[in-house]
A and B are shown apart, each in its own frame.
Chain A
Amino acid sequence: MTSATDTTAHVDGEHHDDHHHIPKGLTRWLFTTNHKDIGTLYLWFAFIMFLVGGAMAMVIRAELFQPGLQIVEPNFFNQMTTVHGLIMVFGAVMPAFTGLANWLVPMMIGAPDMALPRMNNWSFWILPFAFLILLSSLFMEGGGPAFGWTFYAPLSTTYSGDSTALFVFSVHIMGISSIMGAINVIVTIFNMRAPGMTYMKMPLFVWTWLITAFLLIAVMPVLAAAVTMVLTDKFFGTSFFDAAGGGDPVLFQHIFWFFGHPEVYIMILPAFGIISQIVPTFSRKKLFGYASMVYATASIALLSFVVWAHHMFTTGMPVAAEMFFMIATMLISVPTGVKVFNWVATMWRGSLSFEIPMMFAIAFIVLFTIGGLSGLMLAITPVDFQYHDTYFVVAHFHYVLVTGAVFSIMAAVYYWLPKWTGKMFDITLAKWHFWCSLISVNVLFFPMHFVGLAGMPRRIPDYALQFADFNKWISVGGFAFGLSQLIFLALLIKACRHQGESVSDQVWDGAEGLEWEIPSPAPYHTFDTPPVVK
């Protein structure tokens, strides 16, 4: 859909000599305002957080390997589930997408950098502090947060430890970072598109990120308000969520999920964008239904504001409200279905090839759809009374988040890594990484559907004996999935050392778009002179 030429237009004038040497050492990374550097920082940070959060998941699965309490204290178990969730959501998935946006959005729309480079540096560098604070709270007396990533009141108010203040502080920093990142994306896309890059010519990754950025702007402040209310309820005697003082704990859930549901789409819309870039490349066809993809993304985003109470079916809402939220939730699967249909239609009669990014993309399409279907089951109010707070919900959101969001991020890294480094990554390692991840992730999450349907509750360190066999397999899958990511680590280290065969500018022979027309590896500065898009 976009075709452009630039490549040779890197005729940098003599009036900005600082452009030709890249600063070295630690200060390069500390003070950088270059979108590619910041993108790299975000991506490495996300990957480290992925490993840290993953280590916590290993603790959880080790405890659940057998029934009974054996390895950790229940209170520590709760801290693990809580911090695992927080780290994966705010530390791994969201920063990874922001990193990809940093690298790709300017290159895809023909801009020289992000619109607000200095703010970009800040929005990254406050993140490590947020997570340092969160992680260090685990070592405080009384432990870190143990109330679940959803921090429901009164668990987070009346019944929480003093470290709640640190939790609130770190969530505030994460929120500010996300908002700054989102502002940067919006301003860049609004103001810095190359001549001729009209909205309806923008690559879908750019579109989905634009819409995601608006979701972030709309709901991160709500999260900030929610944690602030928790803070004042706990430490300053307010009663937002305290029935004795005239408040209402259910109100907490409304506010949280008003943020929370759009938040889950924040974690999947950029994934939709990535898949929409990759599938056409390896099908050697244009994306089927470009415009419908844009409209589907926008309608998913809008609908995501009116479905939040599907997380609250069991709080005793009136029947009319339950019906409304059930139907609104099911409506979301219509635009989601449109997307899946379009991807499949893009592949239909395409000249397919199965390079690593495509393998991850296809795995995404199949496995994300499984997650969507279990979501649809959960949306049915009467059955959610049985499924709510069981492992069925855990299975659902791990299919959409791990085999959805995380797989899409891996697909993206494999797809654009050669462009970033100029070298093809180690394909053998990548194949090992793909197949080990694919198999283990299903051993890990698929049986969770069954134990969930049979009634195993989530967030509990022990379980009834009849769930023992399944949990053993789930844990085995978990350890295998965790180990598989070390293959990825090895591959990434090799790639960053620029080992491997050099690649062409286009890298993949079906790839289209501005980022494939600049040299490989992508120069430190691109599109100083804007390309013209026709």
Chain B
Amino acid sequence: MQDDNKNIEQMADQIQPSPTQPRQDVDHGKTVGKIMLLVVGMFCFAFALVPLYDVFCRITGINGKTNVEAAVYSAPEVDETRTITVDFITRTHSGMPWEFEAQTRKVDIHPGQMGEVTFYVRNPTGRDIIAQAVPSVTPGQASLYLNKTECFCFQHQPLKAGEEALMPMVFYIDPQLPENINFFTLQYTLYDITETAEDAVEVAMN
């Protein structure tokens, strides 16, 4: 015990000329700076997750999202040995008053073959509404092999009060579609985006 105490006092003299101050040899500012970099980095990382998530989902097809721009028809040949069944489901988001229906509920199609399905929409209300259709494929992996050369979901869909319309969707299935998928569902959900897309309207409606 005695020795220890002597030790302490010696050490204290060497290290700590002014006992109230934190240890002199270290610069807290530097440590804080490094940690702040981490804080800012993680904040940015969280925002970076948004595009990363999209890219990740697009590459893996996990989310069942289809491409948002028209594909160019480039199938080498039609694979007549396989027939794929595609189901079409339509729904409107809650609060969206339109009638929305696929005129063909189901198609049997060979990979590589072009297919066309028409969707019927009607705005039964007394006000003009702009809609956006959001597609989703189940199982998600099939979305990687579904190529749409034309789709109403690529644009906003404005309808005046009481108007109705037919909207085409042209597609083909990549012959590379994995063997285990013989059936998939393409679902469209219609959202009312009138409020957020107000300025886009003028252009679209004229």
Contact = CB atoms under 8 A, between A and B. Distances in A.
Interface stretch (A359-367, A453-461, A487-495, A523-531): A523-531
A26 interface: no
B31 interface: yes
Given A187-B28, A191-B23, A529-B19, A248 B191 contact: no
Interface in A227-258: 229, 237, 239-240, 243-246, 248, 250-251, 254-255, 258
15 contacts: A6-B8, A12-B19, A13-B19, A113-B22, A179-B39, A183-B35, A195-B15, A221-B45, A229-B50, A245-B132, A251-B50, A318-B62, A529-B16, A532-B4, A532-B8
Contacts of A251: 49-50, 53
A217 B15 contact: no
A16 B20 contact: yes
Contacts of A112: 19-20, 22
B42 A245 contact: no
B181 interface: no
Nearest to A226: B46
Interface size class of B (residues with CB under 8 A): 35 or more
Interface of B: 1, 4-5, 7-9, 11-12, 15-16, 18-20, 22-23, 26, 28, 31-32, 35-36, 38-43, 45-47, 49-50, 53, 57, 60, 62-63, 68, 93, 132, 134, 140-141, 189, 191-193, 196
Contacts of B32: 116, 183, 187
Contact of B4 (A5, A16, A224, A255): A5
A219 B42 contact: yes
Given A15-B18, A220-B39, A225-B46, 8 more contacts: A9-B5, A186-B35, A187-B32, A192-B26, A221-B45, A222-B43, A229-B47, A529-B12
Given A179-B39, A183-B32, A528 B20 contact: yes
A115 B20 contact: no
A126 interface: no
B28 A115 contact: yes
B42 A190 contact: no
A530 B15 contact: yes
B196 A218 contact: no
B43 A225 contact: yes
A140 interface: no
Contacts of B28: 115-116, 187, 191
A28 interface: no
Give the top 10 A-B pairs by smallest Cβ distance, nearest first: A244-B191, A225-B46, A221-B43, A221-B42, A191-B26, A528-B19, A529-B12, A5-B4, A222-B46, A187-B31
Mostly helix, strand, loop or mixed at chain A's interface?
Answer: helix
A192 B21 CA distance: 11
Contacts of A187: 28, 31-32, 35
Contacts of B35: 182-183, 186-187, 217
B63 A248 contact: yes
Interface string A181-218: 01100110011100100000000000000000000011
A217 B38 contact: yes
B28 to A, nearest CB: 5
B134 A243 contact: yes
B22 A115 contact: yes
A254 B63 CA distance: 13
A111 B26 CA distance: 13
Given A116-B28, A187-B32, A318-B62, A9 B8 contact: yes
Nearest to B10: A532
